[in-house]
Structure 1
Amino acid sequence: MVEFFTQYSWIIWVALILLFVIVEVATVEFTFLMLAIGSVGGLLTGLFGGPFWLSVVVAAVVSILLLFTVRPPLLRALKRGGDPTLSNVDALLGQRGTVVVPLAGRVDDPALGQVKLANGETWTARLLAPTGEGSIDTGATVVVTAIEGSTAVVVPAERTSS
């Protein structure tokens, strides 16, 4: 068995390198890239006549060194160009709007109205009234506090400023 590993170790290293590269292409997190480069170190050790156990040690050491020294700066460089603009529901939270159809409601039976947000979208809205009753008339300014399905949960703008 040891003779098999010694004679065909280069095939094992090439297979590991290909496997790690394929996984890296799918994940793009640089972990498997570092393992593939470590495997190249193990392959080169075996090609230069080193025993299989030494190839494994070299691959492990190179991989660990790369994981802790090269991978963090690569991840920072990859994420540096990210777009910080909020999108989808995150972009709506905290956005101001104007009431188009009056909002009224109780905790047990909220009446839905409509709100035109600052981005130009008109949403079905419900008043966030944790206790008692409340209402907001047409033209009042509100702030979106949550999105529940296709309904914006809003509060009067004065409540958010304090």
Structure 2
Amino acid sequence: MVALIWLAAAVVLAGAEAVTGTFYLLMLAGGALITAGVSGLTDLPVWGDAVVFAGVSLALLVGVRPMLLRRFGTPPELQTNVAALTGRQAVVTEQVALDSGQVKLSGEIWTARPLDSAAVYHPGDTVTVLKIDGATAIVFKEA
């Protein structure tokens, strides 16, 4: 009977974790779940169950929660503006050489220069953006 109470507590705590997203309640739910298992297999008194719950919950909070936070706590960095253009493909619209050139990049016309100063790219060529330098795309053509 006591094991069912611990199991219900684990379900309630895990459900509450879905609302908070802090991983604290999930660790407590894990402690309650383990305690339900121990309580079902042994004949510990209630204070023994409480000691198991506290020990397992503390171990999960100290050992597992930091790993979960590193893995899921911070969303991947979203590249925006100029940083989002690096690595994108562009189409040459006006011959790209050391001193002139344009490419169509993400639907916009950009001034472009080749990475290799001796390279020349002709209209229609597909190039890759290495970086954006001011308002100029530094591009190269993959072999």
User: What is the TM-score when the length of structure 2 is the normalising length?
Assistant: 0.50
Instruction: Judging by fraction of residues, say which structure has more strand.
Output: 1
User: What is the TM-score when the length of structure 1 is the normalising length?
Assistant: 0.44
